[in-house]
Each structure stands twice: as structure tokens, then as C-alpha cells.
Structure 1
């Protein structure tokens, strides 16, 4: 709901309010963002809510002679400009024709719309949407007091998801060009300075590590300057009041619908406030805006919850599923795929691929993906990027012939491409060296033996569309993995003059979005999956075109616990691709039970990435059961609400405060629950990283269920193999059994120990608050049938159904 009354604007969702006003000087002033406030009709006493200042404090600067009590350093700005005494982080910096960088944007008009603004549609930037075409949309126009420049501030309200988004556009209505050095997507002021800031950082194969920092003074910057949103710092972050847990406390979430260099700065003031600005990274942005031209900043996404991190996550998940992801695959169950990469790497051929696909089909998999190595002369990563035609030595019957054989097996077919890059050793580079983003005559720093194509050049976009359209239409291709395996360096666009080189990164993103828009419209039923060396470009901009993104090149299940947990704070798990790999794992050399590899993978979009031809018959049978089980529960897993459970979070808080006493080793156990929207079904996963001696008791806590309803909780029972006990078996065996001996192998085929089995009926409130006591685990002494073997990297799946 959008209420405009007197001089204030009240944007309200089901549970939140966002309030700003136009003050006496005509400046937009931020008042409040948080839990829903106001009377039943949404009206407010803004005079009593806004900060009351009787004089210009200390050595600050008063805004103008007419408003001698107003100091921009001390007031709460809704969109901050450089100059007139505001010495904090600006939202906008413009170099005017006279060289001045002072701007003074004051209110001109407003409009409440029920549709998407035409200017936003023309911006070429992806944006949130409403499938019914009905928007709660507020448009504010600010005009510079001196110069012929106008700012449009667009606000969109998504009531059910408790999300508000902001979009900003700058128009040059003067006769001379101006240089825009900064154009942030949003600005917000908080009336206090003590926040916990939770960001998500990492590197290749180690993405989305949760990092908590306390800001009580100074400035904190979260940014990427690598040409993509990046694994170094994801654009999603959280600000929270302390204390906050997974289920309690006040938390604000922020994100950008953008895939390039981003920047978020939190700056505390001398007057007890914290200003947040967020948008394009100004370090790689400088844009010449000609007379009559317009430029747009990416859409900013805001959400607030008083139900801790889980409450905030649900808001973001619901919003992204409904208002960011779009098209044919938005609400459809995704196919279980088998990817060739870790099975064969570049060493592929038709015969090998068909054998692998045959085993995948026998296991019940639905989509076979041919990864890198199928095109040009691609035998390693040193050549052929850009040469998008099949290698006839590897595929003698061509792409079409292979696809037809895969389809005849009853499987869909998918393909890998990396269109934004080019190898120097390629036909494309030899024919069009000018297509690359490089500085002619200077040394070029390489990344993975490849260079970045200049997507800021419309000719390159047209070329790529022509080549990719030909590939995607040459056979029955139903899935495309779109990769990007290096960051930007030596950023330069040969098609632009020197004075426009600051626009390259921004124009690159516009070009990429144009290419993706054209391709996804031309092939609306292809399932596109984003990838950038794994999770180096996991953001809302990409999710506007790709319904799912490869979370990380690290397929080790125990590494994926933290990676997928990190994504879950801001992104729905049906956008996170997760595969079961072989062992030893190719990134960590770790051996993880196949049950755990599956149990972690089902938290996201399930796939397999390993050489099934080398798997034991026992593991193949397990995979068949896994695939069948996933198909039974896939709909709920893809659409349900995701909860992180940390029963020890209170103890963790005490440890940080130095007040904790004895602490159990259970703190290395993680638990997650996915609950259907109607609360009829749920799946819970519990996983242990490292075993702890003499620590057998454990509880499973389940969030999100109907408190008063009764539920049946059960697990899939597995018998325990005597090999898991090593030479401990000799303490009870009448004969000595040597480890890894023929005798041990024979006995293990016929003698099994009864594993743990849960089959109980409890209420939702019992599972949430008291927790389900699980069968005791082996802790160093004793064993009996039904004991839970919960050693390193062990896990369990529990199924919950309403009675």
C-alpha cells in the first residue's frame, strides 16, 4: 500500500513500513524503515516521528539562509548529493559543465502508478516484475535547483513478500553533456550506529562464507571490482540489531538486481546515525551523459523481518521466486542431470558420452549435459573459445547425431558454453582481434588462458547471438550451462573514445543483458543455468535470465554445507545447483559417504557429476534409490520454505561473551529443514562434520510446522556395514578378521548390523521447541542394534508428514 498525505509518503507491506517526507527545504528526508506502524488507514504523525533539530550543530554547515536550522551532515537523507555541507557518502556525483560537483536536487512532483514506468523498461537493466502486470509503484521526480538535471526515484512495494525495491534514473535536460561519477541505487539513514553487518565473501571453490562484523563507528565498504558481482563479496548482505538469531531479532536485508561491479557503504556520522548507500561501484564507473540522455542505476531490494535471519530469508526467497525468476522454468520441477565434467573433463567423445549417459538413464536421471571440450580443437583450456562448432573428431555424427541418440535413450540433452570469452588460439580471435577487451600495443594479463570479449560493442553482441542461435537451434538442446571463467583486467573497449572508457564495465553489463534477453526469448523453453567459475556471478541480475546458478565448482559435500548455507540467507534453494560427485573429491581429496553427498545435494537443485562407469554396483544401487526418492519429494523440496536450525545459537552467543561453561562438541553439526507451503510435509537434514568421542545424544529441531498439528517423522533405514568398525569387530568376533581382507569382504556381504530407525508422532511445537531425541550414536564404547553410526561427514534425512 502506498499512502501519500500532506508532505509524506508511507509505503507499507504486510508487516513493514517505509516512510519519508519532503521537508521544508524541498529535500527528501528519510523517516523510518522497520516494523509496520501507523493507524488502520496507514496515516502517521510524521511531525512527531521525524528528528527535531533546534539549531545547526557545532561546526556543521547550514543548508541555506532560508533554512538556517538545517544541516545536511546531521539530517537523514532519502537520496544524498554532494555539496551544501553533506560530507558523508553521497548517492550521486555529477561533474557539471562548469566543473562544479555540487548538486541540489529538490522535490518537483510525484505520481502513483499501477504499471512499470516506460523509462525503466527502456533502461536495458533487468528489473523485478509482477506476473499480473499490476504494480504498487511510486514515482518521485527531483530537479536540481541550478542545473537542468532531473532524478527519478521509483519505489515498488511487494506486500506479501515484505519487500520494497528502489530504482533511480538521471536525465540530462540541459544543452551540454555532463559526467556522472556516481549514481547509487539507494540511500537510507538509520538513527543509531551499532549494527552487526553480515556479508558473504570467499574465493573460487570457497564461496559464500558468512562474515559478521560490528560497526559502531567509521565506515564499512562491501564491494566488487572484478567485472562481475563476484565471489569475493556477494551483493547480498544483512544489517541486524544485536542480539539476533536464526529465529529471533530484527534484521534488514539488501541486494541489487545487477551482475557487475557493486558497492555498498555504511558510514556512521558524528550525530549518531548510519547512512547506507548501495549501487554500481564508482571505482569502475564514469559516464558521459549527453544532452537529452538518461541513465539508470540497478534496482535495489530491501526487506525487513523481526523473525531473525530465517524470517528475512523467507522474505527474500518468496520475492525472488515470484518477482525475479521468470519464464517457462520458474515454477516447474527441474530435471535431475548428469554432467560430464568431473567424469571426463576435456577427454570426451561420442562413445564415452553415450556409455555415461546410459548408466545415468538406468539410474533414473533425466538430463545429460555435455560440458567443456566439444567444440573447435578444444582438448584443454588453451584454445578454441569462440569457435562454436562441433569437433568432428570427438563427435563424428555432429551435435545433432549425439543429441538424437541421447533423446532416444529417453533423456534430455544439455550443453556447455562460455560465450563471453575467447582464446587467442581460436579462429574468432584470428579473424576479429578487435572484439576483445584489451589495450592494443600493451601486455595483456591472462586468466585461464583466455580473454574477455568486449560486450560493450554492439557488433560483438550481434555476432554472439548469431553463433549461439545457430548452435541452440541445430539440435534438440533443452539445457544450456553458461560459464564465465575469469575476472576483468585491463578494461578497455576499442569501440569507445578515450573519454568514454569509464563506461566500459557498465556498458558491458547492458550488452550482456541484451544478449541474454534475446536468447531467452528466442529459446523460452531451454533451461539456462548460470555459472562463473562456479559462484562468481550469483546475483539477482543473472536470476532474471537463469532460473538456477551453479553454486560452486567445489563439489565436496562438507564444503558445500557452508556454501549452500551461505546462499540460503539471501537466495531460494531452487536457484542453487548442487551435484553429487565421486570420491576422492576432485577439489579436496576428501572421502564422504555417498549418502551425505546426496543429502547435501537435495538442499538445492539435484544433479550428479562423476564417472558412474567406475562406481561400484552397491553405489549404483544406492544412486537409483536416491533418484527415486528425490523424484517423490522433488516438488516440495523445490518450492518449500527453507529453515536453518542452530539449537546451539544461544550457547554460541555465550561463548562470544566469554560466559559459557562446558560446551558439547555438537557445535559442528548442522541442520536444515524444508517445509511445504501448506505445512503438510517437511524434509529435515542433519549433518556432522567431525565426530566427537563420548557424545552420543543428539536432538533434531524442526522449524516451520503447524505448532498444534501432529506429524509422523521417519527416516530411511540403513543397515550398518561391519567394515565401518574396522578392527573393533574383533572385540566381539569369535575369529580374528583382518581389515580389507577377503574374509572381511565376504562377511560384510552377509552380516549387517541393524541401523538407527526413527518412527515417531509429535506435534509441530514439540519438534520446534523441545526437539526430537534421536537414537544414540556410537561414542567410543558399546554397540547395540539400532545405534546411530554418526562418524565424520555423516548425515541423515528425516521425512515429516502431517497426520
Structure 2
């Protein structure tokens, strides 16, 4: 709504309504110390007005959505409504990942143009609503139509001013090998935020936050959720003001960011997906999952079942040769595994993590016959072949670095701090991007490769670029992301028949921006089944099961040194894109039989697991057990998983109430003779078997009869 003076006001966002007739129309009051931009009205102040895209310096003292500096040093702006239009469909964001549509009728887009007449600055707010999803996507474009240079200091992609503050804030904090745990905290006066300053979306904070009503749980209550389609620095800010109103904005983190906007230049912000649910967190997740699975992920593998893989890393680390790899593949194929992935160590002179990143050519000492021969030998065993890369990194001990020492992210005259003994290539540079595109393309063209794991194992320090002028140095991090997206777009387009999986020390870049280019992400370097209960549960709050890589590894676990049964490790890992990371040659006959059982079960049911409706039944953050289930779209099949963490003395009997079944359909559980109607299983529930010992589990299959 446009108020007097051309100010754009926010009225409502929530459950769909038939017709809006201003039942909650904006009210005004003369508030002390809230100045007035319209001299004729002392009740009108931007400090109390619910706004669509607020600015600082013209009577609003709350967190602004943007900030622009003019050549005279001032940061005062005054955007006013100019025009709007509604178009069918959803325009793409040039150079950036975003949700998309396949038919024009799926969505409508509102574009509102605001103008600062003094600066000749045009700002276009874009809103897309979807016919089939309770979602609004938002982004912003800045256009300099004047003659002087402008400097963008802050660019949020959206802002929402709520009329109250009766919410809890939900975020997904963590650390490497402990990603995306769920935090729920009451809102309080002041600012609460979630952010990354690491030039990656990060293990520490995910670019997601939600506001939930106090009574909201898994199945009931309102949730307003925000997810940033971006893989770099971000800030999601929630401010409760003096009048108990709540402001949320989200976008590129203004920390260490500016962007010089020359005359006639424009700047496009990334997209924020805003999802509303009136059916609790489960309803929110259902919306995100379907939207991301069908209108964010792209390409051949969006809808294809993902293969069962084995990764050689924990079996060999850097110590391997062609015979050892072929032997692993032979035994893996005999157990029903479909894809063999060669991890770190196949290139340059890579015998440890001190050298060779950037030299993407085969180490002939380890693989004298090259990748093609190895891949073809593995294919003869009935398996596909995949490969690990870390294209964004460079080692000081590499041919690439010796030839181009200025091609890394660095600040002249400053030391170059290393992480994992490596530096980061400067993808803000066109020449660096072209070199990596060519190197990776040469390798992928050299052998029958059907899968790539794209890793990234350090965050940025000494952030600067040798190719940018001094006045553009604070653009480096965002230009890096634009370069990375360009490289990913080019490579995934050139090789449409390769399944790409993103990774960053596990789940350090599990975000919607990555999923646009690569339909799955390695969820965590922590493969311990019990740790994964919380990691995968938290991840599922936003991201679909088809996007989660989950593997069985050896015990004691290499990250937390816990012993769990192969059965439990399998049940947890089968609740994602399934695979193994262990030395298959060291398994006992009993363990080999269990692996064969797991791979057979998973292949028989992966369509339901990867693409069915997902339901959370028991929360690992609230108790000693965890349970979840998958239901096929036609509700004819379902898979239930349950894990008990620690054994209790004199345990109580427990029941699980299932979800998502057809009430009128009859189901049989596995091979049991007894059948149950769906409404009984959902409303009455089914007994959980008594279990003895720690880390016990079961996985059941339900079939309509």
C-alpha cells in the first residue's frame, strides 16, 4: 500500500484470505522522539510505520533494509513510490541462482519501482507468488540513473515489518561435524541475528531463520520462514522495537561489503524464499522440500533416483594405487553398490594435503594408466565411476601457484594465512575462472565419469583481489560468489549427464544457492549415526531428503570414536542419498551379508525415500529416541525408521503415531500377517518394540494391501 508522500507500507503476510478490506489498517499516533517527514502531520513517522523497504536517516531509527552513500559522503536516501507492474511468470536473476518455473501460469511477479529523486537512484522490488506453494520470493535491483557514483553499503533482499512480537526465533547453528542443530529462542526487545562473515554460508550458521508462534509445534501453529538463496556472507536480522513490532530483513552481509555503482550500472541482489505455514514446522518443511526438489534443483538428476555409492576416502586416504582401487570396486559391486568414487589424492603429486591443489591432472605415479583405464576397469565390474575435486583452492606447492602467485585471494604486503595448508583461488577474476573451467572440463572429458564431489575446505582470510581497484576491494567476496556461480553453471551445463554433489568440509555450504547447480550436498563430515540424528533432523527442517548425502562408515567412528552397529549405521544413512565410506575388504562375512541386505532394501525403496513425503515423528533434541518416515505420493508405501540412543533401566512402553497415510487404506508392516487401517496407525499408533542395549534401531516398510 502507498501512503501519503509515496511511502510503501506493509499490511499483511500470512494465510491466504479471500479478500482484503483493511481490517487491520495502519494506525497513527503522535509518538515522542519519533520525528515526522510530513510537516503537516505529527502522527506520521517512519519510526512507527510498517514498511516494505525501509531506509535510515529520514525518521526511522530501526534497522534499515539498505544503505547508499553518495559522492558527498552522505548516507541519507529517500525512496518514494514511482510505479508498479504485475507480470505472469518469474524472471530469472542474471548470474545468480534462484527458484524457477516451467510454465508461465505457475507464478505471478509484482515489480514495484521506488525512486530517490535527489540521487536519481531507482530501486525495483520484486515479489513472486506461486500458484502451488505458500511461498513469496523476493529480490531487489538497484539502478544508478544519475551522473555521480553511488556506493551501496547494505543491500537486503527483503524486509517484513510484523505488527507484533509474539514469536520464537528458529535458527540452525552448528560447527564443522555438528551442523544445523535446531535453536529456538523467544524474541526479545533489541536485535537478534544469524550471519556468516566467512565468505561461505558456513557450518556455523545456515542462511535460514523462522519466526514461530509460541504454541507452534511440528503439526500445529504459524511459522514465517526465510531462506537466502546464496552461498556467501549473509545477514538475517530480527529487531523488536519500542512498540513491540518486529522487523525482519535478510540479504548479503554488510560486514566488509560495499559496491561501487557507476552511472547507468545496476546491482541485483540474491533471492530470499519466504515460506508461510499454518500447520507447524512440518507444513513449513513440506513446502520447502517440494519447492526446492522441483523448482530449485535442475537438470537430469532432479527427478532421477540417486545411486548407492562407495567413497574410498576412509578406506585408503592418500595411500592407494590402481590395483587397490579396482579391488575395492570389485568387492563393492558384488555387494550391490553401484558407484565407486575416487576421493582426494589422484592428481598432481598429492600424497598429503600440503600440495597440488590447482593441478588437475592425473598423478601417473599412482595411476600410471590414467583415469580412463581405471574408470573403464571399474565399469567392467558393473559400477559407475565418480571423482572428487576441490576446484576453488590452490596449494603453494603446485604448478598453478608457482606460475600465478597473484591468482589467490590476498592483500598485497600482507601475509597469506593458510587453512588446511591451502589458499583460495580468486574467482572474482575472469582469467582464473576460465582456467579452472578448462582444467575441470579436460578431466571430465577424459574418462567415463558419472559423478563429481565438489569440495571446498577453507574460509576466506585477507580478503582482497589483485585484479580490483582499491575502491572496489570490498566487492571481492560477492564477486567471488558470482564467479563461482559462473564456473558451476558452465561446468554443469557442459556435463549434463554427471551427478554433481557439493561439499564444504561436509555441510559448510548446505544452502539453496548450491542446490541450484548441484542437486545434492554432503550433509556432514561426521558420519557417526548418533550424531547424524540431530544433523539430518535439523537439515530436514528446510532441505529435502533428496539433497542429503548420508553414508555408513567404519567403527569406531573416525570423528567421535563411537561404536554403533552396522544395522543402525545403515538405517540412519538410508534416510538420505545412501552410500558407504569404509574399507569394504575388511568386512566379516556377517557384515557383508548386512551390506547386501541394506543395498537391496535401499534400491527397492529409494524412490519413496528420496522423493516421497517426509515426516518427523520424534525429535532427537527433545528425547532419547528419534523417529521419522517417508510416504509415497500415492500413499501405497511408507518407510518408518526409529533409533533409540541409550538404554533405559525399566523402560516405559512407547507408541509411535504415524503420519501421511491414507486413513481409509489398509497397510501391512513388512511380512507381518496383521493389517491396519491408516487412521488407526496415525491416531492410535503402533507399539515400539522393547530394545536392549544402546544405539538400537529398526526400519519398517508399510505396504497397502
TM-score normalised by L of structure 1: 0.86
- Are 1:60 and 2:31 matched, yes or no? no
Instruction: Write the mapping of 1:409-420 to structure 2, written as runs, cut at 5 A.
Output: 409-420=381-392
Superposed displacement of residue 329, structure 1: 0.4
Tell me the alpha carbon deviations over residues 582-606 of structure 1, each in whole angstroms, 9 at most, x when there is no partner.
Answer: 1111111111111111100111100
Q: Which structure's CA Rg is the greater one?
A: 1
Count residues in correspondence.
704
For residue 670 of structure 1, the aligned residue among 615, 620, 626 is 626
Name the residue aligned to 1:335. 307
Task: Give 2:25's aligned residue.
Answer: 50
Cα separation, 2, equivalents of 1:711 and 1:67: 67
1:774 aligns with 2:688: yes
Give the Cα separation in 2 of the matches to 1:50 and 1:372.
Answer: 60
Per-residue deviation at 1:527?
0.3
Asked if the contact 2:619/2:625 (under 8 Å) is kept, the reply is: no
Unaligned runs of 5+ in 2: none
Partners of 1:646 and 1:338 lie apart in 2 by: 30
Q: Are the counterparts in 2 of residues 264 and 279 from structure 1 also a CA contact under 8 Å?
A: yes
Tell me which residue corresponds to 1:17: none
- 2:348 pairs with 1:376: yes
Q: CA deviation at 1:133?
A: 4.6
Verify the 8 A CA contact 1:688 1:790 in the aligned structure 2.
Answer: no
Give runs of aligned pairs for residues 72-151 of structure 1, distance below 5 A. 72-117=46-91, 120-122=92-94, 124-134=95-105, 135-151=107-123
Q: Partners of 2:632 and 2:685 in 1: how far apart?
A: 19
Q: Give the structure 2 partner of residue 707 of structure 1.
A: 663
Deviation of the 1:216 alpha carbon: 2.5
Contact 1:246/1:646 (CA < 8 Å) preserved in 2? Answer: no
1:647 is displaced (CA, Å) by: 8.3
Contact 1:350 1:395 in 2 (8 A): yes
Secondary structure of residue in 1 paired with 2:13:
strand
Q: Any idea what SS the aligned residue of 1:232 has?
A: coil
- What residue in structure 2 maps to residue 36 of structure 1? 16
Please give the per-residue CA displacement for 1:641-699, whole angstroms capped at 9, x wherever unaligned. 111113899xx6xxxxxxxxxxxxxx301110111122211101010111101115221
Partner of 1:631: 603
C-alpha distance 440-625 of structure 1, shift in aligned 2 (>3 A) = same
Q: Please state how far the C-alpha of 1:710 moved relative to its aligned partner.
A: 2.1
| In structure 2, distance between residues paired with 1:760 and 1:219 | 55
Corresponding position: 1:797 with 2:696: no
Q: Secondary structure at the match of 2:560?
A: coil
Do structure 1's residue 605 and structure 2's residue 585 form an aligned pair?
no
Bigger mean CA deviation after superposition, 63-72 or 214-223: 63-72
d(CA) in 1 for partners of 2:147 and 2:27?
41
> CA 1:185–1:121 in structure 2 vs 1: closer, same or farther (change >3 Å)?
closer
The answer for the alignment partner of 1:736 in structure 2 is: none
Distance of 1:391 and 1:179 partners within structure 2 = 47
SS in 1 for 2:11: strand
Matched, 1:693 2:649: yes
Cα distance between partner residues in 2 of 1:574 and 1:210: 20
Residue 44 of structure 2 corresponds to 70
Classify the secondary structure of the residue corresponding to 1:507.
helix
- When residues 557 and 213 of structure 1 are mapped into structure 2, their CA distance, relative to the original with a 3 A threshold, is same
Distance 2:688 2:490 in 1: 53
C-alpha separation in 1, matches of 2:392 and 2:673: 52
Mapped contact 1:152–1:169 kept (Cα < 8 A): yes
**Structure 1 runs not aligned, ≥5 long:** 1-20, 653-666, 716-757, 778-788
1:761 to 648, 653, 675: 675
| RMSD of aligned alpha carbons | 1.4
Task: Give the conservation status (yes or no) of the 8 Å contact 1:195–1:216.
Answer: no
In structure 2, the residue matched to 1:221 is: 193
Equivalence for 2:326: 354
Kindly provide the CA deviation profile for residues 251-278 of structure 1, in whole angstroms up to 9, marking residues without a partner as x: 1111011000010110011112000010
User: How far apart are 1:66 and its partner, in Å?
Assistant: 4.7
User: Counterpart of 2:481?
Assistant: 509
CA-to-aligned-CA distance 1:725-756 (integer Å, 9 cap, x gap): xxxxxxxxxxxxxxxxxxxxxxxxxxxxxxxx
Name which of 140, 146, 149 aligns with 1:168: 140
1:589 matched to 2:589? The reply is: no
1:77 Cα deviation from its structure 2 partner: 0.7
SS in 1 for 2:300: coil
2:154 to 182, 189, 194: 182
Equivalent positions of 1:5-16 (< 5 A) are none
Q: 2:419 aligns with which of 439, 447, 451?
A: 447
Give the secondary structure class of the aligned counterpart of 2:288. helix
What aligned pairs does 1:231-246 form with structure 2 within 5 A after superposition? 231-246=203-218
Give a deviation string over 1:422-462, Cα, whole Å, max 9, x none: 00011111000010011233222210000011111111001
Matches of 1:708 and 1:240 in 2, distance apart? 33
Distance 1:327 1:299 in 2: 20
- What displacement does 1:218 show? 1.2
